Amino acid sequence: MAAGAGEHGGGPGPHDADPALADFPHRAPRTRRWCFADQLGPHFLDGPDQPVLLIESRAVLARRRFHRQKAHLVLSALRHRAAELGDRAEFHQVGTYAEALDRVAGPVSVCAPTSWRSRDFVLARRDLQVLAARGFVTTQAEFAGWAEGRGRRRLLMEDFYRDSRRRHDVLMNGAEPVGGRWNLDAENREPPPADGRIGVPEPWWPEEDEIDAEVRADLDRWEADGDVSFVGDDGPRLFPVTRAEALHRLEDFLQHRLGAFGPHEDAMLTGDRWLAHSLLSPALNLGLLDPLAVVVATERSARDRAAAGDLLPLNSVEGFVRQVMGWRDYVWHMYWHLGRDFRHANALGAREPVPGWLAGLDDGAVDAACLSDVLGDLRRDGWVHHIPRLMVLGNYALQRGIDPSAMTDWFHESFVDGYEWVMVANVVGMSQHADGGALATKPYAAGGAYIDRMSDYCGGCRYDPRKRLGEDACPYTAGYWAFLDRTREQLAGNHRMRRPLQGLDRLRDLPAVVEQERLRGTGAP
Ligand code: SF4
């Protein structure tokens, strides 16, 4: 979801003394390694023969109302890993993690898991040796060293990204970035092509097998028994559950889609939800792929093709590398750096509950063409790319004052790649500006004009993106002004909001717009 640069200003602060952030050891080869369901790649083990513990916990599924395809993906990935490892893995299908751990003999180690809650759990178990986290490009110590760097007052993603590029020698010519510029984002904000065709083949899709069939039958049965409940549609599995599948998708992206990725990465099209996106975030967040290896493979592929006379646009290559080693790592580290309170930050005082139509992914209840299309894609696939997340779904919640913590839960549950760490930073920080500007220098609020420019939605909509008042007033355009009016005091000190706030004073019909939007509330627009 990340877009644009942020800075570390007010809001929640670091909690370095927290035991969940201790300097854990890095290796424990003579132990059985418990791998959580988002730690499934070989880089979470200390060697090819290390015994493994895998636990499928029904309680984790029952705790939340996940998208059906997310539950399928996680269970399928875990069961495929157990099948792959054969006798090397002890696989428990139980009610809770504790039930399984109580049955295991011998020393067990675990790489630090990915949420405060799960870290607290493993640290409370005296029978577990907790190791440093894996699955990210920069380590906790490297991030801390960078954050505490001499004279550093702001924790900008852009600075972090450059540091990481230098540290790992990615897209570098000696001390300089390849092409002479670090960030080519300005070339990656083009609207959709006029003919609505992005010009890449369909992504490669995995094939389901008998393990998927078992998962599907189990989920059906548990749902019928009332043990779990889901949102969203069941459907063919679209995302990788094994390392082999994840590598296949990576290769397909590098060969057929990467070149077209950059220019239209922010565009939205009614008839093409995949565009040239990599669709790799679920595989990365399940731990099937090591992100540094993905970045290295991307650079190698681009260099090999350039040597063969097939030069890929640098803005596409750099844009993808920035997503993986810049934004993904940055939101991971900020999740920990800003501490436990980060999740509960609510700087704009947003307290509306998530409306039922949104919670239920009920696109049929929605007239607004953009929101209906995005919600429909999410219901069907459990995935939409970063701009529908930020500028359609997140923008709606921001304008309507929906509680940021509740929206974080909603994103976590509704997306196949959603996890606590990624959604707290992306939703509380980036999308809802609830952290008071710790991650983003201004709220990602926009009216219908932005959506009109970046999509083909508005032409077929019953609303008019230019109208803020009346029957056909666009809920995003009107909502934008109502949002500014409601948050004027909190945003007054933000210099990047000075001009938009000044614009409010020029609106003669502002009281009528505000009243119209008050009546509209969070009813399906
Ligand atoms: Fe969305 Fe407004 Fe455009 Fe309709 S007019 S598609 S509600 S931005």
Which pLDDT does position 39 carry in this prediction? 98
* The pair of three-digit structure tokens given for residue 407, joined into one six-digit string: 């929206």
Cα(205)–Cα(76) distance, integer angstroms = 15
Pick from 268, 474, 520 the residue to mutate for probing ligand 1's pocket: most ligand atoms within 8 Å of its CB. Answer: 474
Looking at the fold, whether 516 and 414 belong to one and the same domain comes out as yes
Q: Tell me the DSSP string of 237-270.
A: --S--SHHHHHHHHHHHHHHTHHHHTTTTT-BBT
In a domain, 219, yes or no: no
Residues belonging to the chain? 525
Domain span at residue 93? 24-131
Looking at the fold, whether 76 and 35 belong to one and the same domain comes out as yes
* N-terminal to C-terminal alpha carbon distance within the chain: 23
Number of domains, the chain: 3
CATH of the domain at 400: 1.10.579.10
**If you search the block for the tokens 């640290």, which residue do you land on?**
123
What are the backbone dihedrals phi and psi of residue 130, each rounded to the nearest 5 degrees, phi first? Answer: -95, 130
Which residue from 147, 142, 152, 157 is spatially nearest to 7, judged by alpha carbons?
Answer: 157
Dist. CA 489 → ligand 1 center (Å): 28
**Residue whose CA is at the smallest distance from ligand 1 atom 1:** 370
In a domain, 9, yes or no: no
CATH of the domain at 257: 1.25.40.80
In a domain, 225, yes or no: no
Cα(448)–Cα(438) distance, integer angstroms = 26
Which pLDDT does position 123 carry in this prediction? 97
* The pair of three-digit structure tokens given for residue 26, joined into one six-digit string: 């890095």
In a domain, 281, yes or no: yes
Tell me the C-alpha to C-alpha distance, in Å, between residue 474 and each of 141, 357, 372, 396, 431. Answer: 47, 19, 13, 12, 20
Q: Which atom of ligand 1 is nearest to the CA of 464?
A: 5
311 Cβ contact list (under 8 Å, min separation 6): 305
CB 18 within 8 A of CB 342: no
Pick from 270, 452, 462 the residue to mutate for probing ligand 1's pocket: most ligand atoms within 8 Å of its CB. Answer: 452
Looking at the fold, whether 409 and 287 belong to one and the same domain comes out as no
**Mean pLDDT, each 10-residue run in order, the chain (525 residues):** 38 63 92 98 96 96 96 98 97 96 95 97 96 96 89 87 96 96 92 88 97 98 95 97 98 96 94 95 98 98 96 96 97 95 96 98 97 98 97 98 98 97 95 92 95 96 98 98 97 93 94 98 97
The torsion of the CA quartet 420, 425, 427, 433, rounded to 10 degrees, works out to: 150
Dist. CA 100 → ligand 1 center (Å): 50
Cα(453)–Cα(446) distance, integer angstroms = 11
In a domain, 217, yes or no: no
**If you search the block for the tokens 């998927």, which residue do you land on?**
212
Q: Which atom of ligand 1 is nearest to the CA of 452?
A: 3
CB 258 within 8 A of CB 298: yes
Which residue from 210, 195, 185 is spatially nearest to 326, judged by alpha carbons?
Answer: 185
**If you search the block for the tokens 């501490």, which residue do you land on?**
339
Looking at the fold, whether 60 and 156 belong to one and the same domain comes out as no
Pick from 375, 453, 458, 517 the residue to mutate for probing ligand 1's pocket: most ligand atoms within 8 Å of its CB. Answer: 458
Dist. CA 391 → ligand 1 center (Å): 12
Q: Which atom of ligand 1 is nearest to the CA of 463?
A: 5
**Residue whose CA is at the smallest distance from ligand 1 atom 6:** 458
